[in-house]
Amino acid sequence: MVTYLRNKFKRVQTIARNFLGLSLDDSAAAAITASSMADDELNAAPAGTDAVLASAGAGDAAQPSSERSSLKRASPHDGHDEPAAEKKPKTDDTAKHGDDDDDDDSKEQWQTVSRSNKKKSKKLPRPGKNYPSITFSPGARLQSKIGVSHLRDLVTYIFADGAGPQWCAVMHRPAFRKIVAVMVPGLEEAMFRPGVDLTTFNETRDDDLATAAAGQSSSSSSSKTEPKKDASPDDYYPRPLDKTQLPEALRPFADIFPHLWPVKTPGDDRHGKMHSPMAAFLSTPAPKEKKQGVKPAREPSGWKNERTRITEFLATPAELAENGYLVHPALLPTDTAAARDAFVLPEGWVRTVVERAENGDAPEAEVQQGSVTAGRTVLALDCEMCLTGEDEFALTRVSVVDWSGDVVLDELVRPAKPITDYLTRFSGITAEMLAPVTTTLADVQARLLTLLTPRTILVGHSLESDTKALQLTHPFIVDTSLLFPHPRGPPLKSSLKWLAEKYLSRSIQKGGAAGHDAVEDARTCLDLVKQKCEKGRAWGTPDAQGENLFRRLARAGTAYKAQGGDAALGGVEVGKTSAAVDWGDPGKGYGAGATVRFGCASDEEVVAAVLRCVNGDADGKEVRGGGVDFTWARLRELEARQGWWNTNRINSNGLAAAEAEKEAEEEEDLERCVARLTQRIERIHAALPPCTALLVYSGSGDPRRMAALQAVQARWRKEYNTPGRKWDELSVQWTDVEEQALKRAAQKARSGIGFITVK
């Protein structure tokens, strides 16, 4: 009995060792007597033994042949250092009970064949199984149109550290290989409506545009009602594309894209303005910090200071007029000498003695090398006011400091009219302070006229209110509210307190009930200007405070195993490569942050460059093999054909519009131009590798009527602010009718479209 159990134990031990891939020596092989055991002995063996044997055989059979140890017989005459001859593989039954035909099994030697360590290449996911997708659920609760920034955030979510979108469902994000975004200005939602005739698409709207350019309101825009908001889901929900309902030239869109998405361009409904759609897509918010309050300004990655003269920051006549300044006659064009001579100041106003703007320039011989003041005298000004009537402000204090921060003038002023509110919480002025004061506005004006020479530059924050209180005009103004524009754009302006905390890390205006300190405010303006001169034009602009999309992807781009490549280590930040393809030189704008850039002169060149960026160059010299991860491109021939190029300045990158218009004239009609655009989109889509997301968006709607009304508004504002011009003498009028028409036109201009698909 003991011998029987010992033999059974050795048998189990031997088979288990073979199952684990171990070789047996001759002495061990001699002890194996699997084939000599009778069936009745096997049946009498303990149940656990057969269970182990069965599991060993079944487990071995369950493994693929390339991933398990395979056993083969070696000839009894073969040595250990020579390869054994391979025989026919055994079946599971043979592995369990031994060979019935071979009684010498116990004398044969077993040899283990090692597993292969070669890994199979990563396969592409199959549609329906781990395949990436971007879909819209009809049950989604959209409250408004998605914006251009939402499309940008979709890119940062898939390829970087962005937050997940709430307006669409992104499935299997790690499986996305590439993203291609194509901006097509000129593409409108109305083109995709049933029954549209593209040959006559622009005729009625061109008549409306001519009416607006003449400073008149069409009958359709003469209503004083507020512009319509997106009131129903039909206004902002994506619309399925039905091939049978589309114009012939646009039907291929339905084969590529499932939906048409209404996309809203950033802007300001209240003032009828549209912001740059390129900036909205190609710039991302700066990384957030946990610290509360105003975040100190940081130099963007790769920032280089560009020392700049203060004269580069002088406000232009247009900027002064736009912001409510009384423009000094020295800034009038030189060919309007008669207008300068006829210039009449409003009653009580004075102007500095400057005949021409050129009189302020200092000879280069007198300018110290590297000096940012350019031989000019720089004075910072701040005033405090009080109320002398309903919405009527009067000067109570004026403070002036020089470039070194020393006080040049600090005077209290007694208003000519009785004071109704000292505004102490803002000005710090009290009745006791003004009781002994005898200085008048005329006295202060006289002193300032002696300080402000033709070479003097006046610095301040929102100086239009100070100059109005002083009733003084000067041609050379540096306004910090213009140097550091509001992050959301004009007409909004940042407060001096906020600018000081952000850019100077300085807390000002903390007097509480004691009010502000005019000298402190003037010095703060001066320090902001000094910082701007040291760092350059781009410092303090919204672009500097955001982050370039291409640089964001390079900094925080995340690779996954499913995406392949040497850097695909599984959810780690390794950076994404990118490409910018545009007309002109994309390196001068947002495209400067891209890995590769291609400047083009036609849409055909743009398409060819996109295909290179997606698939890579054969030699890999300019575009690496396999292409870049993210490609952004812009097709502009439709924009030129629609007549948007000249009027929509925010989309221009410096290329002469005449060249684009010449290209557009070669098109027979709008339908032909749209058909050619569709063919190019088809070519791009066909060339994309699997698991690639394709985004096509217009950026905006038709901006022409908005631009025409804005030109009328600017002309009216200029004439209205011209001293001596009466209301009935203005060449154009601007009433609430025109104001509401501008708001409606801005809403239409901000109504773009987009398309999303995954190849």
- Which pLDDT does position 544 carry in this prediction? 55
pLDDT recorded at residue 356: 87
Residues in the chain: 759
What the chain holds in terms of domains, given with CATH numbers, is 2-113 (no CATH), 142-202+230-282+552-718+735-758 (3.40.720), 310-334+348-354+372-535 (3.30.420.10)
Cβ within 8 Å of residue 168, ≥6 positions away? 134, 135, 136, 140, 154, 756
Percentage of the chain surpassing pLDDT 90? Answer: 33
From the list 681, 656, 540, 677, the residue with the least C-alpha distance to 601 is 656
Residue 351 sits at φ, ψ, to 5 deg, of -130, 150
Q: Number of C-alpha atoms within 13 angstroms, CB side, residue 435?
A: 4
CA–CA distance, 374 with 309 (Å, rounded to integer): 6
Question: How many Cβ atoms are within 10 Å of 259's Cβ, its own excluded?
Answer: 17
Q: Token match 């149940």: residue? A: 47
- Contact present, 75 and 117 (Cβ < 8 Å): no
Neighbours of 694 (CB within 10 A): 22
User: In 3-state terms, what secondary structure has residue 708?
Assistant: helix
Question: What per-residue confidence (pLDDT) applies to 641?
Answer: 86
Q: What DSSP string describes 295-321?
A: PPP-PPTT-------GGGGPPPHHHHH
Residue 339 vs residues 128, 334, 472, 505, 727: alpha-carbon distances, Å: 74, 10, 19, 46, 19
What was the pLDDT predicted at 626?
87
Separation between Cα atoms, residue 642 and residue 673, nearest integer Å:
10
Q: Scanning the structure block, which residue is given the tokens 């890994």?
A: 119
CA distance 149 to 265: 8
d(CA 571, CA 608): 32
- DSSP β-bridge partners for residue 112: 71
Render 581-638 in DSSP notation, one character per residue: EEES-GGGTGGGGSSEEEEESSHHHHHHHHHHHHH--SS-SSS-TT--SEEEEE--HH
Predicted confidence at residue 716, as pLDDT, reads 86
> If DSSP codes are grouped into helix, strand and coil, which group holds residue 715?
helix
Q: How far apart are CA 740 and CA 104, in angstroms?
A: 103
Q: Please state at what angle helix 2-19 crosses helix 47-62, rounded to 10 degrees.
A: 10
SS3 for 722? coil
Per-residue tokens: 638: 């439709």
pTM of this prediction? 0.56
Q: How far, in Å, CA of 486 to CA of 542, rounded?
A: 7
Angle between helix axes 148-159 and 549-556 (nearest 10 degrees) is 20
Q: What is the pLDDT of residue 420?
A: 86
Instruction: Give the dihedral sign, CA 517/523/526/531.
Output: negative
pLDDT in tens, 29-60: 444 444 444 444 434 444 444 433 344 444 44
Burial 9-29 (b: 16+ CB within 10 A, else e): eebbebbeebbeeeebeeebb
Name residue, tokens 């619309």. 239
Q: Residue 567: left if φ>0, alpha if ψ -120 to 50, beta else—which one?
A: alpha
- Gap between the Cα atoms of 283 and 485, Å rounded: 16
The secondary structure of residue 489, as a DSSP letter, is -
Q: C-alpha dihedral over 549, 616, 683, 668, to 10 degrees?
A: 80
What's the gap between Cα 66 and its chain centre?
A: 49
pLDDT score of 524: 94
* Residue 116 pLDDT: 46
Whether 555 contacts 577, CB under 8 Å: no
Copy the structure tokens of residue 382: 């701040």
Mean pLDDT across the chain:
77
Three-class SS of 411-431: EECCCCCCCCECCHHHHCCCH
For 667, what's the count of Cα atoms within 13 Å in the CB-facing half-sphere? 21
Rounded CA gap, 675 and 248, in Å?
Answer: 8
How far apart are the C-alpha atoms of 72 and 366, rounded to whole Å? Answer: 97
CA angle 684, 690, 695 (to 5 degrees): 45
Note whether 381 and 459 are within 8 A (CB): yes
Which helix (H) or strand (E) covers residue 239, if one does? strand 239-240
Query: Which residues of the chain fall below pLDDT 50?
Result: 21-108, 115-121, 217-225, 290-291, 513-514, 566-573, 647-659, 661-662, 664-667
Cβ burial 180-190 (10 Å sphere, 16+ → b, else e): bbbbbbbbbbe
